[in-house]
Chains A and B, each alone.
Chain A
Amino acid sequence: MKNNLSEKIIIYGILLLWTFICLFPIYWTATTSFKTAASVTQGLLIPWIDFEPSWKGWRNLGFSPDTLFVESNPREEFLARFFNTAFISASASALAVILGSFAAYGLSRFNYKFGFMRNPDISFFFLSQLILPPVVLALPVLVLYRELDLLDTHIGMILIYTLTVLPIVIWIMRDQFNAVPIELEEAALVDGASVWMSFFKIVLPIVLPGIASAFILCLILCWNEYFLAALITSTDAKTMPVMVASQISSQSIKWWNMAAISAALCLPLIIVAIFLERYIVKGMAAGAIKG
């Protein structure tokens, strides 16, 4: 019994330690955004006990109670970036999920032959895009986009983001479709439905949770993407990570401001993680189990 107890203590000890490691940076950022210069330099940690919270960081961003209903340029700027990021990542994820689901369904149901490529080759062709580092595409795409007048446009960003997440969608959805029994569709086909009808009416509702997982994973990846966004966007389509990164590199930036905007960048996805954890885990697990 004693042995069991000490084992429990060790297990919970390690788990709590790791929880602390995971959450402390977020706690630190959140509290720092309410600090003043003095409390920053003293490295104070606990609000109300160590230091008196102030709205300074959030006021500069236009999100403190006294500035919330007053006109504020930083807030306009921030919200514009926020909606850019949300719009681009949601559209890219949606496009990737549509293209990827079709492809994955086709690959799980029919035998294809495109030239020398059979189904396994086509699957490999899709998945191999995952290992392509963005830096290889960076300059050619930059030049191509310049010629096509796609630089700093939403559509340009959406296209390139769709590309980066498409392999992941196909990876996840292929397993989802393989798990759906073919007999269901065969029955529908016998009743006279077309292939596309049976796909939309029968298969799609079954794999909807899988599609949700794929969509959320894509959303997370696109939301956080920095490298390509820094390259392609300048003003109109600039996303939040680019804005935050440019603030980091400017020397004059104050800690409480930086903390506030970092927190604002992370907050939406932390909320997503808390409420949709089930789907995120499911999406990642789908890739692992197949082996």
Chain B
Amino acid sequence: MSEIKYIERDPLYVVAPSTVSQATKRAGKIIVWSSFILMVVIAVIQTLHSNEKISFGFSNWRPVLYAYVLWAVAIGYSRVLIYGERGKRNLFVFPAVMFIISIVIFPLLFGLYISFTDWNLSSIDGRKFNGLDNFYQMISDPYYWNALKNMIYYVLAVLVEFTIAFLLAILLNSQIRGRKFFRIAFLIPLMLSPVAVSWMVGKSMLEQRFGPVASFARWLGWDTPTFFSNPVIAKLTMMCMDAWTFIPLMIIMLLAGLQALPKEVLEAAKVDGANKWALFKNIIFPIMLPVSLTTLVIRIIFKLKLADIIIIVTAGGPGGATDSVTSFIVREYRDRSNVGYGTLLSFVYLIFIVILMTVLIRFVNRWLQRAS
């Protein structure tokens, strides 16, 4: 990021006559405002209708959505009318920005409001503002903190996954036959839906009576292999299943890094008689540092969303030992009547994540700068 310098000139410099007449500019503004007013009018009608102040109106809020889309299109079009060539360039980024604002920012603001309410989705009473009650409830909710603690373990497991992935990437990068076969085979777990993995591995292979893994464990001398009743073992099992699906991602990213290593440096080191371990420690690992850190950050991002296999295989059990924050909140939504509480929990989690990722990325950047 830091190498981007601000220059007034665009990287792609366009010499364009920017002659936009006053009339066109005015037309642009009229389009935006008229569509905006249309949207407001429809929204007001619908608000009044849904509060039963007036009898006419629409059966749902869809027309407001259409008006909103129309307004967004009008803004985009007016950019061109008002700013000419400059506006056309804005159109590259504008749709994506608008899309994210519509689907993320509005729901987030709404969610923030919900998290301070007591709201039973099925009752007709609607939302009741209850201030910080949800927050106090969270402070004294041992299961939420337990889920957060589990997340720490799950994230730490990434380091083990990374070690395995690095080893396999190095092996794949060495002089071997059938590299393409191995690459495809290694990639396949990533293709599988977590839902399918939950059944294939979690429910059938780990089945205690006749699952093949259980049979194997029995053969090894573990008399009563149960994978989901002991808290520690259950957590480890979950980590393994998640690792199984995501190690391929890390292998591929690390392999790409290994293939981009400068060949001359490696040759020179070999000529100088460096042994394999020294080669790895002094050359490969330092050069791979940026790729490794990117891989770790991406993997941690995915890890923080961990939910599907837990929801399906253990539903957080035994006693919350395998709960991730997401699976816990899902249970909270399903079991309790107050959805405001669950929403608050998810927002607190989001804050934790943002802090963690900010610190992590800062740390990574500083480390990289010091290394280079």
Contacts and interface: CB of A to CB of B under 8 A. Distances in A.
B96 A140 contact: no
B262 interface: no
Contacts of A182: 11-12
B174 A163 contact: no
B49 to A, nearest CB: 12
Given A133-B353, A135-B307, A266 B186 contact: no
A107 B353 CA distance: 26
Contacts of B201: 25
A43 B215 contact: yes
Contact of A32 (B9, B204, B294, B342): B204
A220 B193 CA distance: 9
Given A15-B176, A21-B244, A43-B215, A248 B347 contact: no
A244 B196 contact: yes
A111 B9 CA distance: 8
A86 to B, nearest CB: 14
A280 B177 CA distance: 21
Given A119-B4, A226-B193, A25 B205 contact: yes
Q: Is the interface of A mostly helix, strand, loop or mixed?
A: helix
B97 A114 contact: yes
Nearest to A198: B12
Nearest to A283: B252
B3 to A, nearest CB: 10
A80 interface: no
Contacts of B28: none
Contact of B253 (A26, A141, A143, A285): A285
Interface stretch (B29-37, B132-140, B226-234, B323-331): B323-331
Interface string B118-140: 00000000000000000000000
A132 B187 CA distance: 25
A136 B349 contact: yes
B178 to A, nearest CB: 9
Contact of B186 (A18, A28, A149): A18
Interface in B252-268: 252-257, 260
Interface stretch (B18-26, B152-160, B278-286, B297-305): B297-305
Nearest to A103: B96
B110 interface: yes
Contact of B343 (A139, A149, A199): A139
A54 interface: no
B93 A224 contact: no
Given A29-B200, A110-B89, A273 B187 contact: yes
Contact of A163 (B103, B294, B305): B103
Interface of B is mostly: helix
A26 B193 CA distance: 12
A291 interface: yes
Interface in B269-325: 290-291, 293-295, 298, 301, 304-305, 307-308, 311-312, 325
Contacts of B78: none
Contacts, number: 306
Contact of A105 (B64, B92, B114): B92
A162 interface: yes
A287 B97 contact: no
A288 B257 contact: yes
Contacts of B248: 22
Nearest to A114: B97
B193 A12 contact: no
Interface string A243-285: 0110011000001001100100110011011100100110011
A134 B193 CA distance: 17
Given A147-B61, A248-B198, A277-B183, A135 B329 contact: yes
B27 interface: no
30 contacts: A11-B176, A12-B176, A15-B168, A22-B188, A26-B192, A29-B204, A32-B204, A41-B210, A42-B210, A43-B211, A103-B95, A122-B93, A123-B1, A131-B301, A133-B325, A138-B346, A139-B114, A139-B346, A141-B103, A148-B60, A150-B62, A189-B15, A195-B89, A245-B195, A248-B198, A258-B203, A269-B192, A281-B255, A289-B257, A289-B260
Given A262-B196, A273-B191, 6 more contacts: A18-B186, A22-B248, A140-B110, A149-B59, A159-B103, A163-B99
